């Protein structure tokens, strides 16, 4: 059985004070469930605050990292720096990094390879735009994004399928649409890396996940959890999603 994951991506929200308030509330109300791995990705400036208040011993993630070990990259953060901040996970290839900041498949591949070299757990985001879905290019987009990013696959890699048209829009892929995409990703991994790698790979759904839709999504055989954006900013809502998953 693949262990479920619920991951929170706070994006550019929650400074240090809001992070303190979140974890105070979260620590009071979250009852540890060993069947679900919980990951929270605060902003860079809130990472150490999250680590210091992490009474429930969940996993802390960075939202991104640079593809170089170090150097003259003003405003960027290295893998060594996020490891020193006690992050165990890193989110790479998020649609906002691809489409807003124009990160290429090649850059994302270099980041994934470097993170794995440093024994980081990688959450690799993939997903198609609405235009690509309407043109029936979902499979080819996912094949390109997964194939270009992964030269190896192991238990250190989790893939998050996030249809770009559903992120922050209130639209949600139907459970059937999400399952088809997850099944397609698992088959790609099977074809490239073999049955064991595909069977053990955890694939998350992301895109306007809320307490009232997570149950139908998580019931699909190839959906192993969720990467949650806006609904993860409120500790009570985030815990309710956890409870629905359980």
Pairing of strands 59-62, 36-41: parallel
Catalytic status, residue 94: yes
Among the listed residues 49, 162, 179, 182, the single catalytic one is 162
Tokens of 246: 């359980």
DSSP code for 52: H
**Nearest residue to 212 via CA among 240, 178, 183, 175:** 240
Residues facing residue 159 across a β-bridge: 124, 203
Among the listed residues 14, 94, 96, 128, the single catalytic one is 94
Please answer whether residues 90 and 120 qualify as being in contact, where contact means their C-beta atoms are separated by less than 8 angstroms: yes
Residue 183 host element (H or E): helix 175-193
Buried b vs exposed e over 7-43: b needs ≥16 C-beta within 10 Å? Answer: bbbbbeebeeebbbebbeebeeebeeeeebbbbbbbb
Other C-beta atoms lying within 10 Å of the C-beta of residue 156: 14
DSSP code for 151: S
**In this structure, which long-range contacts are made by residues 15-21, counting pairs with CB atoms below 8 Å and at least 24 apart in sequence?**
15/43, 15/45, 15/46, 16/45, 16/46, 16/49, 18/46, 19/46, 19/49, 19/50, 19/53, 20/49, 20/53
Which residues belong to the active site? 94, 162
């Amino acid at each position: 059985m693949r262990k479920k994951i619920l991951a929170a991506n706070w994006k550019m929200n929650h400074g240090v004070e809001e992070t303190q308030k979140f974890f105070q509330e979260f620590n009071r109300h979250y009852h540890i469930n060993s069947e679900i791995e919980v990951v929270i990705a605060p902003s860079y400036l809130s990472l150490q605050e999250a680590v210091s208040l992490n009474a429930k011993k969940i996993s802390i993630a960075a939202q991104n990292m640079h593809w170089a070990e170090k150097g003259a990259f003003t405003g960027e953060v290295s893998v060594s720096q996020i490891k020193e901040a006690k992050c165990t996970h890193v989110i790479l290839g998020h649609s906002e990094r691809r489409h807003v900041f124009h990160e290429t498949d090649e850059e994302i591949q270099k980041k994934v390879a470097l993170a794995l070299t440093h024994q980081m757990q990688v959450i690799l985001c993939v997903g198609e735009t609405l235009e690509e879905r309407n043109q029936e290019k979902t499979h080819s987009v996912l094949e390109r994004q997964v194939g270009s990013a992964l030269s190896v696959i192991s238990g250190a890699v989790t893939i998050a399928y996030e249809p770009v048209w559903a992120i922050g829009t209130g639209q949600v892929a139907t459970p059937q649409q999400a399952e088809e995409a997850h099944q397609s990703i698992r088959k790609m991994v099977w074809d490239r890396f073999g049955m064991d790698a595909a069977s053990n790979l955890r694939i998350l759904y992301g895109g306007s996940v809320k307490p009232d839709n997570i149950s139908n999504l998580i019931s699909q055989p190839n959906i192993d959890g969720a990467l949650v954006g806006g609904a993860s900013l409120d500790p009570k809502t985030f815990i309710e999603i956890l409870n629905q998953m359980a």
